[in-house]
């Protein structure tokens, strides 16, 4: 068995935007991206808005189709996301947690019901099993039966993100993609959720792909780090080596932009809009 859970080969994504005289313009969001991710490891993909990090993650999750390149999970090619069956199979192996948990939680549905719905769609078990499994998942993220009977709007931001994590874990994925999953939380809640994610990775042997612009957070959660700029990888290595001894000017600029007391970070004027 290969030690790699995920292998990405020459990934490319081109968006066709706008129209000038009937012709659309091409925006290259991801350009010849290749990397591997070992089992039970945590890889961070970092970069500013427009770097292509989120588009890369969405392609891996099956939320976008690639223009070129290939992706393998457990040594097997990932199927195209175009068919419902392919999406269903991929969902059992790859789940994604977003910055705003409301994107994956129905505001009209109680927390327990939103987890139960996903379990019912993917597992052939009775209601009692699903109820027990729902309580087990909530306990894994530091919540309990009281939270199962609440609507998402009655929970704090940190609690909603814990519910989103529990829901993602319900399908027992091999890979969990976290796209700016703590960036909307205040610092103290960020620390709690990051500690929770570390505990979950240790107990479940799950693998993380962590997308972020926050290098301070990346240092806490990841073993290895990829830096992207304008759709391309500009630097990669262990998180310690990339953040403590960066080789590329772009990485150094990202590090310089980490806010410090009494200091105003600069921003590159030529960075493109968010992709």
Q: What is the pLDDT of residue 2?
A: 65
State which CATH number among 3.90.45.10, 3.40.50.720, 3.40.50.1820, 3.40.50.300 fits the domain covering 40-53+80-256: 3.40.50.300
CA distance 188 to 185: 8
Least confident of 16-25, 34-43, 83-92, 256-265: 256-265
Q: How far is CA 40 from CA 37, 45, 240, in A?
A: 9, 16, 18
In tens, the pLDDT along 27-75 reads: 999 999 999 999 999 999 999 999 999 999 999 999 999 999 999 999 9
CA distance 181 to 72: 24
Q: What is the pLDDT of residue 25?
A: 86
Q: What is the pLDDT of residue 117?
A: 95
Query: Using an 8 Å Cβ cutoff, are 10 and 33 in contact?
Result: yes
Buried b (16+ CB within 10 A) or exposed e, 82-113: eeeeeeeebbebbbbbbbbbeebbeeeebbbe
Structure tokens at 222: 């990841």
Structure tokens at 215: 């290098």
More confident residue, 113 or 1: 113
CA distance 68 to 141: 37
CA distance 160 to 180: 14
Given strand 68-73, what is the order of strands in its sheet?
Answer: 23-38, 4-20, 68-73, 76-77
Give me the residue spans of the domains in the chain.
40-53+80-256
Query: Using an 8 Å Cβ cutoff, are 2 and 75 in contact?
Result: yes
Could you give the angle at the alpha carbon of 214 between the alpha carbons of 240 and 268, nearest 5°? 105
**Is it the case that residue 105 has pLDDT exceeding 60?**
yes
**Is it the case that residue 19 has pLDDT exceeding 70?**
no
Burial class (CB in 10 A: 0-12, 13-18, 19+), 234: middle
How many contiguous H segments (helices) and E segments (strands) does the chain have?
10, 10
Structure tokens at 159: 């609690």
User: For 8, phi and psi rounded to 5 degrees?
Assistant: -110, 125
CA distance 248 to 274: 22
Give the model's confidence band at 180: pLDDT under 50 very low, under 70 low, under 90 confident, else very high.
very high
E-state strands within the chain: 4-20, 23-38, 42-46, 68-73, 76-77, 94-97, 175-179, 207-212, 224-229, 232-238
3-state secondary structure 79-123: CCCCCHHHHHHHHHHEEEECCCHHHCCCCCCCHHHHHHHHHHHHC
Q: What is the pLDDT of residue 184?
A: 84
């Amino acid at each position: 068995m290969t030690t790699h859970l995920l292998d990405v080969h020459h990934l490319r994504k081109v968006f066709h935007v706008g129209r000038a005289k009937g012709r659309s313009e091409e925006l290259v969001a991801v350009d010849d991206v290749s990397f591997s991710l070992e089992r039970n490891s945590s890889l961070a993909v970092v970069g500013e808005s427009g770097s292509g990090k989120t588009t890369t993650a969405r392609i891996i999750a099956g939320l976008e189709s690639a223009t070129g390149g290939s992706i393998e999970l457990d040594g097997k090619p990932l199927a195209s996301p175009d068919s419902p069956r392919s999406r269903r199979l991929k969902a059992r192996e790859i789940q994604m947690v977003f910055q705003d948990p409301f994107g994956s939680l129905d505001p009209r549905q109680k927390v327990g019901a939103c987890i139960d719905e996903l379990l019912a769609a993917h597992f052939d078990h009775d209601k009692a099993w699903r109820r027990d499994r729902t309580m087990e998942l909530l306990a894994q993220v530091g919540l309990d039966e009281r939270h199962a009977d609440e609507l998402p709007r009655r929970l704090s931001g940190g609690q909603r993100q814990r519910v989103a994590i529990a829901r993602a874990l319900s399908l027992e994925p091999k890979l969990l993609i976290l796209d700016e999953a703590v960036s909307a939380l205040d610092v103290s809640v960020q620390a709690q959720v990051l500690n929770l994610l570390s505990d979950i990775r240790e107990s479940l042997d799950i693998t993380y792909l962590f997308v972020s612009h926050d290098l301070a957070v990346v240092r806490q959660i990841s073993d290895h780090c990829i830096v992207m700029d304008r759709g391309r990888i500009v630097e990669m290595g262990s998180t310690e080596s990339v953040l403590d001894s960066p080789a590329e000017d772009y990485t150094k600029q990202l590090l310089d932009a980490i806010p410090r007391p009494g200091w105003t970070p600069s921003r590159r004027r030529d960075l493109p809009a968010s992709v």
